[in-house]
């Protein structure tokens, strides 16, 4: 019989709309600068870059969160709203034409970013984890199964802070579409059931302060309201 040296940690999960089922999370991949206007606002040329990815930790996802704890060691925390893709299967070198067969469902998430710490790491040529993969850094909505929703290719992506529109875009503005992201990622990693992809954010990212309320969503997928505390 297998025994563990310590009690195994709980498996991170996301809830599913209109269901008691839970979706177990294996890995979280985030695509950077996947909307042209956001790439430009971050000082990059969207026409000259292949997609690139970084990771958050599975337990950074907080499903159904109504509060976002302002993190330590930062004075410049930014919101980035994104659509989430959840995979039901995976593999390596997945063909673009086969990519959507691996999608289980969709949700909405925030890639909260300690921008000052991320900037320090960029300047030093070091990894971004301290800017991206901190506790509670990915509040998200429950998932909607693709069997119910279909596969959204267009739809408003938006985020307001205290009722003022800060981010607005459309899923059809993604530089790298979902099938391309899955195919490209599978050439770098072996994807598997339980993997989650955060698909990039429109322009307008910016700071939040304690007391702010972030509301946002992706048309047809989900919405949220979260207070910064």
Taking only the tens of pLDDT, the chain with its 229 residues reads 889 999 999 999 999 999 999 999 999 999 988 987 655 555 666 665 788 899 999 999 999 999 999 999 999 999 999 999 999 999 999 999 999 999 999 999 999 999 999 999 999 999 999 999 999 999 999 999 999 999 999 999 999 999 999 999 999 999 999 999 999 999 999 999 999 999 999 999 999 999 999 999 999 999 999 999 9
Phi, psi of 132 (to 5 degrees): -120, -35
Q: Is residue 30 one of the residues assigned to a domain?
A: yes
CA distance 107 to 219: 11
Average pLDDT, the chain: 94
Let me know if residue 5 belongs to a domain: no
Question: What is the predicted pLDDT for the residue at 40?
Answer: 55
pLDDT tens readout for residues 57-91: 999 999 999 999 999 999 999 999 999 999 999 99
Q: Residue 174: inside a domain, yes or no? A: yes
Domain interval for residue 146: 13-228
Per-residue CA distances from 214 to 77, 125, 154, 224 (Å) = 13, 31, 22, 8
Structural domain includes residue 2: no
pTM for this model (two decimals): 0.93
Establish if 105 belongs to a structural domain: yes
The enclosing domain of 216 has a CATH number of 3.90.850.10
Q: How many folded domains does the chain comprise?
A: 1
From CA 79, how far away is CA 110, in angstroms rounded?
7
Residue 147 within any structural domain of the chain:
yes
Residue 25: inside a domain? yes
CA dihedral over 227, 135, 200, 195, signed as positive or negative: negative
Residue 27 within any structural domain of the chain:
yes
């Amino acid at each position: 019989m297998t025994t563990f040296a310590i009690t195994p940690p709980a498996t991170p999960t996301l809830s599913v709309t209109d269901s008691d089922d839970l979706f177990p999370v294996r890995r979280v991949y985030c695509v950077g600068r996947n909307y042209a206007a956001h790439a430009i606002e971050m000082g990059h040329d969207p026409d000259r870059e292949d997609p690139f990815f970084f990771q958050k930790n599975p337990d950074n996802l907080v499903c159904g969160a109504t509060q976002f704890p302002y993190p330590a060691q930062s004075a410049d925390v930014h919101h980035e709203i994104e659509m989430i893709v959840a995979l039901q299967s995976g593999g390596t070198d997945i063909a673009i034409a086969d990519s959507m067969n691996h999608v289980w469902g969709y949700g909405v998430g925030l890639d909260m970013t300690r921008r000052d710490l991320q900037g320090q790491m960029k300047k030093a040529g070091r990894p971004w984890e301290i800017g991206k993969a901190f506790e509670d850094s990915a509040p998200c909505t429950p998932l909607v199964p693709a069997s119910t929703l279909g596969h959204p290719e267009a739809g408003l992506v938006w985020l307001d802070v205290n009722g003022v529109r800060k981010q607005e875009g459309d899923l059809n503005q993604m530089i790298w579409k979902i099938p391309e992201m899955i195919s490209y990622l599978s050439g770098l990693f072996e994807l598997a059931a339980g993997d989650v992809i955060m698909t990039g954010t429109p322009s307008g990212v910016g700071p939040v302060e304690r007391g702010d309320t972030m509301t946002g969503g992706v048309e047809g997928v989900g919405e949220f309201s979260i207070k910064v505390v």
